[in-house]
Structure 1
C-alpha cells in the first residue's frame, strides 16, 4: 500500500502543481466565477417561470404574462453568459500581466463582437443588424474563451514592447490611460478584423461555426461521457487525499466544457425540448459536492452519529455536521482526518465513483430527469439542491438515495476507525485511573 501511495504521489503532485499554477487555467476559473452571481440571478427566475404548480393557480393568459415579464432576467444573464466570461478573461489575464485590466476586459469583448456575425437567418432570408443570442451563450463559449485569451495576449505584448502614446505628467490619469491604450487596442482589433474577413472566404463563413464544429463539439462530446466524468472524479478524490484542492484543480480544466453543457441544457429546457446532456456543471456539483461536500462526506457524518461510540469521532461529527449540511467539509477532511489516511482511501475513492455512475444511469434510463442547466449555489443543502437542479422532486430523492449508498460504503471503514479510537481512548482512561489511584495512595500516606 505504501509503495502504491508513493508512486501515485510522485505522479500526481507534480501534475497538480503545474495545473494549479498555470496562468491560463487560473484566469479561466476566475472568469467563470465572475459570471457566477449573474447566472445565479437568472437561474432563480428560470425556476420561478417553471414551477410545476403555476398552471394550476394562474390562467393561461396570466401565466404567459408572468413568464414574459421575467424573461429579461434570463436573457440578460444566463443566455449571454459568454460575454461575461470574455470580459473576465480579458480583465484577469491583463491583471496577471500587470497591464491595465479594465481596457483588457473591454478589448476582449470588442474582439469577440468583431468575430461574431451580426446576422440571423430567418424564414424570409438573412436579417442583418442583429446578433443571434445563441452566439452569446453556449454555442459561442469556446470562441469567447479563445478570443479573450489571444486578444489580451496581443494587447499586453504590444504594451510591454512600449508601443504606446505617452502623455505629459499634467494630463489627467483617465485621459493618459486612454491614449496609452490607443495603439495596442487599434493593432489588436485590426488583427481580429482581418481574421473575421479571412473566415468569410472559407466554407465555414465565420470563426464561430469553425470553432463550434472543429473544436467545441468534439470536446463537449468527450466531456459529456461517463468515462471522462469518472476519471475527473477519480482525480478530484486522489488530489484531495494528498491535501490538494482537487475540485479547483480539475474544475479549472473541465469547467469550460461542463458550463457549456449546462448552457445547452438550459437553452433546450427553455424551449421545452429534450435535454441533450446528463453530465453538466450542475450534475457534478449537485450529485457529488451537494451531498456534504467533495467526497460526499455527509455519509460519514451519518455513520458517526448512528453507529460509533468513540468520543473523538462524536466530537468530530458535532463539529463537521452543521458545516456539512451546507456542503462545507474541511472540518471532516482535516479532522477525521481524510488527508493521507490509508484506512479511508478505498471508500474515499470508490463511493463518489459508484454514486456518479448510479446517478448517470438513473438519468439515462429516464427515472430521474437530468439537470436543466439552472445554476444552483453549491451551498444549498441536500434534497433542495437536487430539486432545483432538475426542476423535479425526483432529483432531491436521488440525492437521498445517493446519501444512503455512500453511508453503506463508508460504514465498515468508519467502524474500523471507531474501534481504533475507542481502543486509544480506553488506554488513556486506564492511565488516568492509575494516576488517580497513585495520587490517592500517596495522599493517604
Structure 2
C-alpha cells in the first residue's frame, strides 16, 4: 500500500498482507465491481422502497394512527376498522406492496451483472450465461410457496445471498460444461451466427437449466422443512446463547467482516438472524417478550458508518475525502451504507478494518447495557429496513430514547474513528491514497 504503511505491528505484519491477497482474488473483485457498477441503481431502488414505507404505508409513521395520523385526516376522520376498510387504505397498501418489488429487482439486477463478470472470468458465453441465470430466478420464484407479498419479504432478507448463489452456480456450471468438447454439437455451415452459438452450446445450456430447476425445487423444499438452516440452528442452540452479549458481539463481528470483504453481511448471516433475532423481535412485539437482541436492534447499529463520515468530514486533511464524505452523508442518513463502503473504500481497506469492526461491536455492548439498565426500552416494533437513522430507533422502541441511543452510538463511533482518520492524514500526506487503494492489484 505504499512506503508510509511500514509502521509495524499487527497492521503491517498481518492485516495488510491478507488484504493484498484478498484483493487479488478475481471472484471477490467481480463482486466488488458489480456493487460499484450498480450503486446508483441500488440507491434509487432503496429510495423507492423508502417512499413506499414513509408515504404509502397506511400504518406507517406518516399515515398510521401510531404515527402522525395523516391517513385519518385524508379520509375525513376515519379511525380503526373504518379506516382499515376504506378505499384509501386499500390503495395505499397496494402502492406499498408494489414498491416492495424493488427487493426482487435489486437482487435480479445484481445477479445479472455478476453473471456477466463471472462469464468473462470463467470464459463462458455471456448471453447464454444470462439466460441460465434468469431461468434460475424464474424457477426459484415459481417454486416459492407463498404469495407475492411473502415473496418480496423473502427476497428482502435473502436477496444478495440468492443473487450470489444463483449467478455463481449457473455461470460456473454452464462455463464448465461448455468447455467440454463432447458436449459441443457440430453446427451446420451457413446458419446465422447467433443461432450457431446457441446450437453449439445446446447441451451445456440444457443441462444447466435442468440442474437449476432441480436446485430451485430442492432449495424451496429444504426451506419449508425442519431441515432448513434456521430451524436446525434454533433446535441446536436454543434461545439463551444467542441472547448473550458475547454471542451478539460475535454476530456483529461476522456481519461487518463479511461487508469488509465486499459481501453483503446482512444477507449472508440471514439464517442466524431468522433462527434467533427475528423470532425474538416477534416475541417482543406480539407476546410481551423481553429479548434485548432482536433484528431491529442490529438494524439500529448501522449508524456506525455515519460516525466515520462525520469524522472524515471534520478531521481528514485530503479535500477529496471530505467531499466524498459530504456526498455520501445523505445516503448514510437514509441508512444506505453501500456507497460509502465501496467509494471510500472501506472494502478490503486494511487501514479501516480495526475501527470498522470495533465501532459496531462496541455499539452492541453499549446498547445491551442501556437496555439492561432500563435506560432504553426494548426494541419491540418491526420497522422497514429502509427507515432513516434515528427515526428507526424511535419507531422500533416506541420511545424517543431509541433515537437517543443511536445518537450515543454515533458519538462513540466518531470518537473511535477519529484517531484512525488522523493516522490516515499522517500516512497519506505524500501519497494519493484514494487512487492507490482503488487501483486493482495485479
The answer to whether TM tops 0.5 is: yes
**Pair 1:387-2:391 in alignment:** yes
Q: 1:110-143: CA deviations, max 9, x gaps?
A: 2354466747489xxxxxxx99627952576556
| Alignment-derived partner of residue 366 in structure 1 | 377
What is the rounded CA distance, in whole Å, between the counterparts of 2:129 and 2:242 in structure 1?
A: 30
**Pair 1:213-2:228 in alignment:** yes
Q: Unpaired segments of 5 or more residues in structure 1?
A: 123-129, 237-246, 305-311, 377-383, 421-445
What is the rounded CA distance, in whole Å, between the counterparts of 2:94 and 2:20 in structure 1?
A: 48
Q: 1:157-184: CA deviations, max 9, x gaps?
A: 1222343346578644443443344222
Q: 1:256-405 residue pairs with structure 2 within 5 A?
A: 256-257=267-268, 277-278=295-296, 282-283=299-300, 286-293=302-309, 297=311, 301=314, 322=326, 325-326=329-330, 353-359=361-367, 362=370, 366=377, 372-375=383-386, 385-387=389-391, 391=395, 396-405=403-412
**Alpha carbons 2:19, 2:350 under 8 Å: kept:** no
How much does 1:185 deviate? Answer: 1.3
**Alpha carbons 2:233, 2:272 under 8 Å: kept:** no
| Alignment-derived partner of residue 12 in structure 1 | 15
Out of 180, 201, 205, the position equivalent to 1:161 is 180
**Alpha carbons 2:107, 2:155 under 8 Å: kept:** yes
- Structure number with bigger Rg: 1
How much does 1:213 deviate? Answer: 1.5
Q: Unpaired segments of 5 or more residues in structure 2?
A: 62-66, 288-292, 333-338, 427-442
Q: 1:17-416 residue pairs with structure 2 within 5 A?
A: 17-28=20-31, 34=38, 36=42, 37-48=44-55, 49=57, 50-51=60-61, 52-53=67-68, 54-58=70-74, 59=78, 60=83, 61-78=86-103, 83-114=108-139, 118=143, 120=145, 133=151, 137=155, 142=161, 145-162=164-181, 163-165=183-185, 167=187, 171-193=191-213, 206-209=221-224, 213-214=228-229, 218=233, 225-232=247-254, 249-252=260-263, 254-257=265-268, 277-278=295-296, 282-283=299-300, 286-293=302-309, 297=311, 301=314, 322=326, 325-326=329-330, 353-359=361-367, 362=370, 366=377, 372-375=383-386, 385-387=389-391, 391=395, 396-406=403-413
**Alpha carbons 1:89, 1:105 under 8 Å: kept:** no
How much does 1:228 deviate? Answer: 2.3
**Alpha carbons 1:82, 1:136 under 8 Å: kept:** no
Aligned-CA RMSD value: 5.4
Give the TM-score taking structure 2 as reference length: 0.58
How much does 1:277 deviate? Answer: 1.1
How much does 1:289 deviate? Answer: 1.0
Which shows bigger deviation, 392-401 or 153-162? Answer: 392-401
Q: 1:2-42: CA deviations, max 9, x gaps?
A: 99943443222333233333344444556667583434422
What is the rounded CA distance, in whole Å, between the counterparts of 2:325 and 2:106 in structure 1?
A: 35
Does 1 or 2 have the higher relative contact order (CA < 8 Å, sep 6+)?
A: 2
**Alpha carbons 2:104, 2:155 under 8 Å: kept:** yes
How much does 1:369 deviate? Answer: 6.3
What is the rounded CA distance, in whole Å, between the counterparts of 1:92 and 1:346 in structure 2?
A: 30
**Alpha carbons 1:369, 1:394 under 8 Å: kept:** no
What is the rounded CA distance, in whole Å, between the counterparts of 2:320 and 2:163 in structure 1?
A: 45
Give the TM-score taking structure 1 as reference length: 0.58
How much does 1:404 deviate? Answer: 3.3
Aligned length: 358
